[in-house]
Amino acid sequence: MREFLPPGWGVQGERGIAFVIAGPSGAGKSSVIAELLRRDPRLSFSVSATTRPKRPDEVHGRDYFFVSREEFLRLREEGKLLEWTEYQGHLYGTPREEVERKLSAGRDLVLNVEVRGALAIARAGIPHPVVLIFLVPPSWEELVRRIQARGTESPEALKERLRIARAEIKEIPKFHYLVVNADLGEAVEEILCIVRAERRRLVRWSG
């Protein structure tokens, strides 16, 4: 294939691509991402740092780096976060070093970040393609039902989560792709196709 391309040109799959998956609470990001990683061995997960409490099914270093507020602020001050955001009183951030190391080794990365974080990563100017995928539940009713079913929310937290979801949904036009998670298997198939298609996309490498 190389012999057909002029100097400086390639397809995105020749270098690492960052696939950023965002969407409101209840969209099913974590389940979708777990399945993506299982299905496509070329994908790695970029573990975020957060100050929010660990849920029972989560593992430190696999789902998140669970850190104290002090540790988080130190990382941020030292410029070690690619983006950070506050969400429902908790801080979330993407460690720059981990992302850049994996991408420059040619790994394709999946990032599970808040909506504003996704947009910040796209603007961060990393020398790799950043593909923004917005995941939604099939309807607003289903979104409310899924958050309630989680059962970990106080009425106030639920109300706040829905307010945030409405604000997040307004950012959809800034994303590249919109995937509806009505059926987990279908949503995963669609994102695997997006991954495969983006690897074949022509690109002029800047560096």
Binding site for a second copy (CB under 8 A): 1, 3-6, 9, 11, 134, 136, 138-140, 169-170, 172-173, 175-180, 189-190, 192-194, 196-198, 200-202, 204
Name the residue nearer to a second copy (CB basis): 130 or 179. Answer: 179
Q: Quick one: which of 168, 171, 144 has its CA closest to 158?
A: 144
Q: How far is the CB of 201 from a second copy (least distance, A)?
A: 6
All residues at 6 or more sequence positions from 206 whose CB lies less than 8 Å from its CB, including other chains: 127
Name the residue nearer to a second copy (CB basis): 59 or 202. Answer: 202
Q: Which residue has the tokens 């399945």?
A: 35
Q: How far is the CB of 28 from a second copy (least distance, A)?
A: 14
3-state secondary structure of 96: helix
Name the residue nearer to a second copy (CB basis): 67 or 172. Answer: 172
Name the residue nearer to a second copy (CB basis): 65 or 177. Answer: 177
Q: How far is the CB of 15 from a second copy (least distance, A)?
A: 14
Q: How far is the CB of 157 from a second copy (least distance, A)?
A: 22
Name the residue nearer to a second copy (CB basis): 51 or 181. Answer: 181
What's the distance, Cα to Cα, between the start and end of the chain in Å?
A: 20
The identity of residue 154, as a single letter, is S
All residues at 6 or more sequence positions from 173 whose CB lies less than 8 Å from its CB, including other chains: none
Q: Which residue has the tokens 């289903």?
A: 142
Structural tokens at position 21? 């998956």
All residues at 6 or more sequence positions from 135 whose CB lies less than 8 Å from its CB, including other chains: 21, 22, 23, 27, 28, 29, 32, 179, 181, 187
Q: How far is the CB of 65 from a second copy (least distance, A)?
A: 31
